[in-house]
A = this chain, B = another copy of it.
Amino acid sequence: MAGMDGVTEETVRRRPATLRDVARAAGVSVATVSKALNDQGRMTAETRARIREVARVLGFRPNGLAQSLLRNRSFTVGLLTNDTYGRFSLPVMAGISEALVDNGVSVFLCHVEDDPRLGQLHVEAMLDKRVDGIIATGKRIDRRLPVDLSQLGIPVIYAFTEPAPGAIAFVSDDAGGARLAVEHLVRLGRRRIAHVTGPASFAVVHTRADACGAALAAAGLPAGAPLIGTWSESWGHAAVETLLAGLEPPDAVFCGNDQIARGVIDGLRERGIRVPGDVAVVGFDNWEIMAGQTRPPLTSVDMNLAALGREAGLTLLSLVDGKPVEPGIRTLPCRLVVRQSCGRPPGG
């Protein structure tokens, strides 16, 4: 076969084959090889096929660095997070990664903790590598990352972290999630629904508590003050005492997260109160490993973080492609994952 003399699969090279290697082996110019491989220009089908074959045999892969330099586009984005052990940011990341990998985009993961120096370091490293854009994420939506991303000259998207003013951001619809939980309990016939949640310093605590109250009011049910504590199991456990102190103890508890819910369930059980028989419990976060292992398995609000990440990733791509995107905060719906802590499980 002309132009393929001595070229075999066994020809193992240390240095990866370049366009020039292919051109030489195929007896054509580099430009022709480039066109053949990129389906551009005109040439006989036979030539194109032959060049392709030579490239394949040589194991040619285009050098992305060279392509990026030329196109001014690196097919690379940065993901900044301060959530090292990733309860929240990891599902977001998974969604981003999923959305981007099919477009040939790779993601730099950067843990910045809450350290401005570390944030700066990572951002500069990414800028030097000419990332096409940056996504910022975190563990709560009312705290900024320790680094200013608003003047970088490249597109930036915020997902599950507090955005800079006028930026594009994606957050979960916490109010909607709370409504989902309460409406589920109401539908199941519960009438005295309490709310045990985390510290008042978290914006979501108020968002969810307010929505909870509103949903109860809409259903014509009484809404007591939410029980404010910490995001911990031990708080949930301790809160049970307060819950049972009143004249009319609740027949349902909507909890600010799954750990609190778990503590509540444990506390109830220790007092011989059945879940869901006597009291129904709903959690928030749908943290699989917690919600699934609770006895009984916990019905919980899922924030759809992976979907949120996917949207963020796709939107960043639009931005990179120069498409206009309206700034502002987009709120994505939650969903309720029904298990057995409220009675009437899926089959019932």
Which A positions have Cβ atoms within 8 angstroms of B?
14, 16, 61-66, 68-69, 74-76, 78-79, 84-86, 90-91, 93-94, 97-98, 101-102, 104-111, 118, 121-122, 124-130, 153, 232-234, 237, 259, 266, 288-289, 293, 295
Contacts and interface: CB of A to CB of B under 8 A. Distances in A.
A65 B129 contact: yes
Contacts of A122: 101, 106
Contacts of A61: 124, 127-128
30 contacts: A61-B127, A61-B128, A62-B128, A63-B130, A65-B65, A65-B69, A65-B130, A66-B69, A69-B69, A75-B129, A76-B108, A76-B129, A85-B91, A85-B288, A85-B289, A86-B86, A86-B90, A93-B109, A97-B110, A101-B121, A105-B125, A106-B108, A106-B122, A107-B110, A108-B108, A108-B109, A232-B293, A234-B293, A259-B289, A266-B266
Contacts of A104: 125, 128
Interface centre among A78, A98, A101 (most CB of B within 10 A): A101
A110 B69 CA distance: 23
A94 B84 contact: yes
A64 B293 contact: no
Contacts of A128: 61-64, 104
The 3 closest A-B pairs by CB, nearest first: A109-B109, A64-B128, A64-B129
Interface centre among A68, A76, A127 (most CB of B within 10 A): A68
Given A14-B153, A94-B111, 12 more contacts: A61-B124, A74-B129, A78-B106, A85-B288, A98-B111, A101-B110, A101-B118, A101-B121, A105-B125, A106-B110, A232-B293, A259-B293
A109 B130 contact: no
Nearest to A93: B109
A223 to B, nearest CB: 29
A97 B69 contact: no
A84 B97 CA distance: 11
A293 B262 CA distance: 11
A14 B322 CA distance: 14
Contacts of A63: 69, 128, 130
Given A107-B108, A127-B61, A90 B93 contact: no
Contact of A90 (B90, B125, B129): B90
Contact of A101 (B97, B125, B266, B289): B125
B106 A153 contact: no
A65 B76 CA distance: 12
